[in-house]
Amino acid sequence: MKKGICLLALGICALMAVACSSMQKDKSVATEDIGSNETKDEVKDKKKILIKCANYFGEQHPLNRAFIDTFQPLFEEKTQGRYQFELYPNGALGGEKEITEAVERGTLEMMIGGVLLSDEVPELKVLDFPWVFENVETSCTAMNDEEIIQAIDNQVQKLGIRCRGFILNGVRSISNNKRQIKSVADCKEIKIRVPEVSQFVDYAKALGFEPETLSMSELQVALQQGVIDGQENPPTTLLTSGWYKNQKYLSMTKHQITYQWVAVNSQFYNSMSLEDQKIFDECCQAYAEKTKDLYIESEKEDLQILSQNMMINEVDRDAFREVGNQIISEYCEKYPEFAEILNRVKEKEQRY
């Protein structure tokens, strides 16, 4: 009898233990599910890799519009949301010098930069040199040829930067407050802002200008205060940056088809998977094409807006070209690396 009671008691205890265990397990699963969902969301956010990109152009510049409309969404979509971007236009993180140094250090992942480094890497001079390219369409195709990108990428890697493509800035002309410039003789005694890059200074001096080297972030104040009389940039940049408000004359020299480069910190780019690198490079090509299209679409309208605020005139371009050709010859002799990349780009442009 006692033995039977003991067995019954043990059976009841066993059933209760199983029931408790089951309840505890259910509770654990429920808790785990709740915690798991929260963790997945948190992990998803944490897994997003932030890419900060800076430049010194106005928000409405084709270069920035194409970044937001094409490059950013395309890359984020193709990488299934693993990356997110923060774009800092209009010199929000400083001028070209500051953002270039930040990319070199790795505190900034990416920039759409100019040719500040071209005295260290002469191959970069081809991006922004007077009278190099024939037209926007063929030059954009030539510059974004894989062979050209790779040639310049090979050189900038020593600075801790990767070059992944070239983005059209526009076609440079000259604005000022002193007089209409119709010939080279009209350039005398005009203080003109140029980037702190040798070819800009030398070409301006050869034309008879008095060049002043300033960053783009300093340009607006310099114009307002009369420190300089003028500047040379594409009309779209003149408009979107607001400089036209302090300028009277725009002379259509069209002396320089100018490009920016997609510069990425080497360590960051190399940390991407090979698949993501491939996607990034493909998106750079789409970005270059979109920027070019937006620039062509907006150029005529931009000039119409500028004409309401400035006097616009044509110039003797052959005379300006002649001076430019002299500078090209001097630089080809001084920088063999520049001469080599220039010949390769010109060759490709003629093919297209």
- For the chain, 352 residues long, the average pLDDT of each consecutive 10-residue run is 43 44 40 38 67 96 98 98 97 95 98 94 97 95 98 97 98 98 98 96 98 93 96 96 96 98 99 98 98 96 97 98 98 97 96 86
The pLDDT value recorded for residue 276 is 99
What pLDDT does 352 receive? 84
Per-residue pLDDT, 139: 97
Q: Which superfamily does 45-351 belong to?
A: Bacterial extracellular solute-binding protein, family 7 (3.40.190.170)
pLDDT recorded at residue 47: 82
pLDDT for 46: 59
Tokens at residue 186, please? Answer: 């009209």
Tell me how far CA of residue 268 lies from CA of 7, 242, 271, 277, 302, in angstroms.
69, 34, 5, 10, 37
SS3 label, residue 173: strand
Pair 72, 110: CB distance under 8 Å: no
Tokens of 291: 């920027």
One-letter amino acid at 144 equals N
C-alpha–C-alpha distance, residues 203 and 159, integer Å: 27
- For residues 205 and 132, what is the distance between their CA atoms, to the nearest angstrom? 18
What the block records as the tokens of 227 is 């420190």
Give the pLDDT of residue 1. Answer: 45
Q: Which alpha helices (DSSP H) does the chain contain, by range?
A: 2-47, 62-66, 72-78, 96-105, 136-143, 146-156, 198-207, 216-224, 235-240, 266-271, 274-307, 317-334, 336-351
What are the backbone dihedrals phi and psi of residue 329, each rounded to the nearest 5 degrees, phi first?
-60, -45
Q: Kindly report the backbone phi and psi dihedral angles of residue 18, in degrees, each rounded to the nearest multiple of 5, phi listed first.
A: -65, -45
What percent of the chain shows pLDDT beyond 90? 85
pLDDT, position 44: 53
